[in-house]
Structure 1
């Protein structure tokens, strides 16, 4: 039904109701003569804005951190949609933002949340919307970088993103913020649905129906059932999942963080431990410039090859290197790495069996693949990672960790067979 003109123009009652003056926040700003005389006026105005939004004046002395994400849509407290996002990849990451922010608050820090939502390549396929896909990456990276720089008092940045262009944009933004410590939180993957096609297969339903390969009822049912959970990137190793793998391989994301099942405990924990990692990097004085190095880029190329990842990362990895002030890899570099590196991962859509990405995570994900690459003498283990320690130290921990054993045991139970943890 068409809304009436009266509904659109509004009522007199609401103008008569409500306040037109309010009480200011209680307390006083922690000002000093030096601050008043020497600090930029923006720093002082920022303190006023902080208490104006409800932050306690007594807690204004903490370190300040930016949490920038590609969150999209509007969820109710119970997760029901009030306004949809463009895709599952950004639908739940507000939960990671909250987890990270609460962790930072608990450590006496002041978190700020900024947003630059992202489109969905799957949604725009076959439309002119695809012309905006790659340009969006560059635009979003610029916006995020400006958002980070627009908090001059920030001591570090946390970037939370999931999908094809949003996560590369986030990595570009952090790479260009070289003087600050920073951590990327991959947004995880959607669970596979029982008895259903995956989010890659269903994208061919129209073509298959046109060729009488599936029925109308089959297409309608499979199209409805493809997502086994409400959040996360697609279940196959496409650009979104590969970008998560590369974020971890670069050292930007914590070990065993890429491809976590969205909404599950192992995923939600990423918000907390990534926030702790950011505080740790800040305390150790390790900026992003010390993590994004030529060795880190070389490692990312190796891991990309070992995963058999999306070739779109041949665009994104050089862009990240350039944003970090490094020499981007050349075509010859890619040829050399791809010829020297065995493919170790069996995931959708490459096969041969085609495991969904959550199974890759449960099998050990990026650190498990890196262990094999280290045994082959291919990795540079001297590089620093988001843990604040070297890659070698991180892999030493992973090799004998309870986390690895727990993940391996769960995979073995599912497969009904086990292999030694050290294999």
Structure 2
């Protein structure tokens, strides 16, 4: 009996049934003797960021076969944040991250693939795939689907969230119904992840920064031939990792995560990147990653990239400015020299890259856009376990802000009130009971912030919540407030008219109500329960951890 199978599962008499099952689909003995590489193909025609993944999968498969492997594909869910936004579907988006991770784990451990290529593009799919790689600890490479091109409206580039802003413009009678329809039709001009530095593109950049994607991969637009070339090269590269025995946990280390944190703060990425890096860190067997670490790097690493929504420059501009390698080049003296999926260390990879020639997008580290990083951690009596904020997207006049609270029981009520003109300048909009357990599912409070923009209030109001925000949001917003209101956090004790102080430079958020009054409120506090449908949200509510711990499930 020929036992020259690379995968031990297929050897000998015990492997005969497994070989037979693969042969039922046309695989030959010759193909089955090679390393078996699983490709996680997250294609769906329901999510624009994943519409090109099938084509990428074909190129990955060609690369695998050219390098001497056999490719086998399988899928998992890939919900779109934009389509889930503004209704109960958003409560399922963050929980989907852990379903994606676990579904990949189940398939890989059942089939015992020799290596893994992870294809994904959107907000929770990317971290879910990287979490799976860390948990499985087999040779693995991630390749993202790439950003879309921006919308162009009246000589200015926008991401697709121009539609939500246009609702406010129409409400204020700045545009007609016909103009609104035209904006809708041009807002998302092609496939790909959204054109701004939202969570999807942030996490693509994080994957490259930690060494889990090939150098230069993260920012290549979805519709360019280079995107397919990267897919092919990824297929080739996974065979090298398999042959050398380089597994995911040799790449996802404490040091490589530190490199990713430095890039996150240097580019002013999505605040969601914080909880996703925490989750990847845990799944790689590294324990818990405290929020304080992010703030330490934020104070150390300046903001050297400025990308929409922090500036007019979109992801295509970032790509043309050199992308992640251009940022790493500026940070080189601060980086840990970690192994990457290229088979080389990060500093070896950087030898073939130059500094950016578009300094309006990627600055010199000696002349940064801001002296501290683009994401930060706040603490105070309202957030003793921490809260996250994105200084890169906050107007200068709101870096220190004190306002009167206006408390809402839900996102829909807040949006209705904002659009009707009932929210005044100087208000701190408070949205509680939106955390992992209280939401449940920790939905994004994207739409209330966009409504404030559309009503021209984003430079005179703030919004705080134990929920999350979209990476496309800009203005003074504070999220992930922990402990969340549902678990007895002070956020649940706030009343209309209370003064709230937010000071970004001092990293402080305080409810200006004395302890005696807060204790009276706590005595009469009753936990607010939401009526949710039977199913996974109830499970997630029961087993999810705090936002300060990445909202992972245990």
Does the Cα contact within 8 Å between 1:250 and 1:385 map onto a contact in 2? yes
Rounded Cα–Cα distance in structure 2 between residues aligned with 1:209 and 1:237: 26
Rounded Cα–Cα distance in structure 2 between residues aligned with 1:136 and 1:184: 18
The alpha-carbon deviation at position 198 of structure 1 amounts to: 2.1
Alignment of 1:222-301 (within 5 A): 222-229=183-190, 231-301=191-261
Q: Name the residue aligned to 2:334.
A: 378
Among residues 175, 188, 191, which one is paired with 2:146 in the alignment? 188
Rounded Cα–Cα distance in structure 1 between residues aligned with 2:325 and 2:13: 44
Rounded Cα–Cα distance in structure 2 between residues aligned with 1:109 and 1:197: 42
TM-score by length of 2: 0.61
Does the Cα contact within 8 Å between 1:261 and 1:267 map onto a contact in 2? yes
Q: 1:197 to 1:177 in 2, by over 3 A?
A: same
Cα deviation code 1:174-220 (max 9, x no counterpart): 11111x11100011001124446421222333233223232211111
The alpha-carbon deviation at position 40 of structure 1 amounts to: 7.5
Q: Name the residue aligned to 1:363.
A: 321
Rounded Cα–Cα distance in structure 2 between residues aligned with 1:157 and 1:40: 26
Rounded Cα–Cα distance in structure 2 between residues aligned with 1:253 and 1:130: 28
Asked if 1:198 is matched to 2:170, the reply is no
Q: Name the residue aligned to 1:174.
A: 133
Does the Cα contact within 8 Å between 1:66 and 1:157 map onto a contact in 2? yes
Asked if 1:391 is matched to 2:346, the reply is yes
The alpha-carbon deviation at position 69 of structure 1 amounts to: 2.6
Asked if 1:107 is matched to 2:67, the reply is yes
Q: 1:37 to 1:321 in 2, by over 3 A?
A: closer
Rounded Cα–Cα distance in structure 2 between residues aligned with 1:90 and 1:139: 17
Rounded Cα–Cα distance in structure 2 between residues aligned with 1:36 and 1:123: 41
The alpha-carbon deviation at position 59 of structure 1 amounts to: 3.0
The alpha-carbon deviation at position 267 of structure 1 amounts to: 0.7
Rounded Cα–Cα distance in structure 1 between residues aligned with 2:22 and 2:297: 49
Does the Cα contact within 8 Å between 2:196 and 2:314 map onto a contact in 1? yes
The alpha-carbon deviation at position 57 of structure 1 amounts to: 3.5
Structure with a larger share of its residues in helix: 1
Q: Name the residue aligned to 1:207.
A: 168
Does the Cα contact within 8 Å between 1:70 and 1:115 map onto a contact in 2? yes
TM-score by length of 1: 0.79
Does the Cα contact within 8 Å between 2:219 and 2:324 map onto a contact in 1? no
The alpha-carbon deviation at position 107 of structure 1 amounts to: 2.6
Asked if 1:134 is matched to 2:134, the reply is no
Does the Cα contact within 8 Å between 2:147 and 2:315 map onto a contact in 1? yes
Matched position secondary structure for 1:209: helix
Structure with a larger share of its residues in strand: 2
Q: Name the residue aligned to 2:115.
A: 156
Q: Name the residue aligned to 2:40.
A: 68
State the number of aligned residues.
Answer: 357
Root mean square deviation of aligned Cα: 2.5
Rounded Cα–Cα distance in structure 1 between residues aligned with 2:127 and 2:349: 24
Q: 1:308 to 1:297 in 2, by over 3 A?
A: same
The alpha-carbon deviation at position 39 of structure 1 amounts to: 4.6
Q: Name the residue aligned to 1:329.
A: 289
Rounded Cα–Cα distance in structure 2 between residues aligned with 1:236 and 1:120: 15
Alignment of 1:398-409 (within 5 A): 398-399=353-354
Cα deviation code 1:84-133 (max 9, x no counterpart): x2x21011111111100112122331101010131111111110101101
Rounded Cα–Cα distance in structure 1 between residues aligned with 2:13 and 2:302: 54
Matched position secondary structure for 2:111: coil
Q: Name the residue aligned to 1:21.
A: none
The alpha-carbon deviation at position 37 of structure 1 amounts to: 12
Asked if 1:48 is matched to 2:4, the reply is no
Rounded Cα–Cα distance in structure 2 between residues aligned with 1:340 and 1:216: 48
Does the Cα contact within 8 Å between 1:30 and 1:60 map onto a contact in 2? no
Rounded Cα–Cα distance in structure 2 between residues aligned with 1:37 and 1:106: 22
Asked if 1:216 is matched to 2:171, the reply is no
Question: Comparing 299-308 with 100-109, which one deviates more in the overlay?
Answer: 100-109
Rounded Cα–Cα distance in structure 2 between residues aligned with 1:358 and 1:40: 54
Cα deviation code 1:360-395 (max 9, x no counterpart): 112111111001011xx32112x1011111111111
Rounded Cα–Cα distance in structure 2 between residues aligned with 1:319 and 1:39: 39
Cα deviation code 1:6-48 (max 9, x no counterpart): xxxxxxxxxxxxxxxxxxxxxxx9669xx9997574x322211
Does the Cα contact within 8 Å between 2:43 and 2:52 map onto a contact in 1? yes
